[in-house]
Amino acid sequence: MITYSDLGKLKSFSMLKKEKKENVKDLLTADRVKNSSIALGGGLKYNWAAMPVSENILSGLQALSDEAQLIDKYKEILSGKVMNTGEKRLVLHHLTRGNVLGAEVAADGEDKDQFYKDVLASIKDFSEKVRNGEIKGSTGKAFTTVCQIGIGGSDLGPRALYLALKGWAEGSGVKTLEGRFISNVDPDDAASVISDLDPETTLFILVSKSGTTQETLTNRDLVLKTLGSMGIQGYNPSKHMVAVTSKTSPLAKDESMLASFFIDDYIGGRYSSTSAVGGVVLSLAYGYDTFRKLLDGAHEEDCLSLGKDIRKNGALMDALIGFYLRNIAGYPATAILPYSQALSRFPAHLQQLDMESNGKHVNRNGEKIDYPTGPVIFGEPGTNGQHSFYQLLHQGTDIVPLQFIGFRECQYGKDIETAGSMSQTKLNANLAAQIAAFARGKDDENPNKEFDGNRPSSLIYGDKLTPEALGALLAHYENKVMFQGFIWNLNSFDQEGVQLGKVLAKKVLAGCEGDDLLKAYADLLI
């Protein structure tokens, strides 16, 4: 029988708290670096050498994983159990990229594996017809731009993945359609994007699972009103917009849409990038084959995440070390530092993935818990971050664990040699140097120039950021967050924390309804 216990009830947690706390600088050696990598999907590897975990601590983390039945709980998700306890829903984002266990998963009277396969087939058919010019805009011109309208998980993940693959596509000679994104209800967001678009050659993708998302529908109306006022002869907005939504939403019945692609309630927004939410825009922009490769990389990582041995399961090891840093070392934040400009928006996606999933104060039964849960996530690409917030990371009074991401090769293939080395070599030299500097520090007679060191970090690395590698990277973090949620006995798949503000915003728009505090603030702004 699988059990769900709060952290304080796990014997292995009590044992871990008694273990000697280690310093990174005392553990880190060249041999440890060479022997601390775990294979992920998509040709990536995860290296934990610069983390403050001794062999005794690793044994304790293995015991914790076994006692908390982390892999068994993962299998429950994969087999279609109701794992979103707050909303009483299945959790099926893994199924959008492949059936890991091969078991039938049924819900709502249908085979969900087949449902997602059918959606993929419709995406493939539609995207190929748009890309080969069979489907054109209302004035007879081929589409050259796709613009996604969505917010939260309907924007952050797809936008991050689109940007991550842009250089790879150009460097590989893949035909591309330009991708643009509108998310913020701030009218300046939509206005700035629309001002650069050719309405006759732009296809809009409206993404809302419920079909009622206020920000998204507001932006849709702004776009349609703006385009309709341009007076373009023969222009028909309904021939320039498709929907990604659920079968039961109002959008699914909207005949003004050129096409509709379906998602369901078993795919949370922040986990939806491998569903139609990310699949439509990526397949249109870079071709369905590119999106399929991304799915394959994610599926490979999902399969590798089944292993019970933490020394062979990168997502599990990352999750357990992250738990150790949060609950035993007491570090409240983690920085995600990709040394790849292509991943410029990936930390923003991971902010939502991690903080919306595990930023919880009650367990799966709705009971208050008395231990820290998810950390604060932030980050920017290197080397830009080195000239920004690394000062605090190196010499600040708080220790912030770091997760670096790096690749041996660039995407565009337009590197040059200057001062005896290529730009990519300089980039990775900075990355290697930062890991060592954070771990070892530096003694100096001048306190201003002294570095305490003992700043823990991990590294995810590979040859090149390809669609397969990107898919594996995405799945690695999704599974890491899932495992940590299991450790903390959380429901990582709802997000009640975003609802209160929405309710009060509607109250403000209705005139504040006698709420003096709301009216006082509204009067300052409206």
235-to-66, 153, 230, 232 alpha-carbon distances in Å: 61, 31, 9, 5
- Residue 387 annotated as catalytic: yes
CATH topology match: 28-85+295-443+450-491 vs 94-289: yes
Active site residue: 200, 215, 301, 356, which one? 356
Tokens of 515: 């709420």
Amino acid at position 466, single letter: T
- Residue 356 annotated as catalytic: yes
Residues of the chain with pLDDT under 70: none
Neighbouring residues of 416: CB distance < 8 A, sequence distance ≥ 6: 422, 423
pLDDT tens digits along 299-354: 999 999 999 999 999 999 999 999 999 999 999 999 999 999 999 999 999 999 99
Supply the DSSP string of 2-32, one letter for each residue. -----GGG-HHHHHHHHSPPPPHHHH--HHH
Amino acid at position 123, single letter: I
Looking at domain 94-289, its CATH superfamily turns out to be Glucose-6-phosphate isomerase like protein; domain 1 (3.40.50.10490)
Q: Tell which CATH architecture fits domain 28-85+295-443+450-491.
A: 3-Layer(aba) Sandwich (3.40)
- Residue 502 annotated as catalytic: yes
The single-letter DSSP state of residue 142 is: P
Neighbouring residues of 502: CB distance < 8 A, sequence distance ≥ 6: 214
400-to-314, 333, 443, 453 alpha-carbon distances in Å: 21, 6, 20, 11
pLDDT tens digits along 479-525: 999 999 999 999 999 999 888 888 999 999 999 999 999 999 999 99
Supply the DSSP string of 304-354, one letter for each residue. HTT-S-TTT-HHHHHHHHHHHHHHTS---EEEEEEE-GGGTTHHHHHHHHH
Active site residue: 225, 247, 502, 506, which one? 502
pLDDT tens digits along 106-131: 999 999 999 999 999 999 999 999 99
Active site residue: 55, 255, 387, 417, which one? 387
The answer to whether the CB of 381 falls within 8 A of the CB of 339 is: yes
The whole-chain average pLDDT of the chain stands at 96
- pTM to 2 decimals? 0.97
Give me the residue spans of the domains in the chain. 28-85+295-443+450-491, 94-289, 499-526
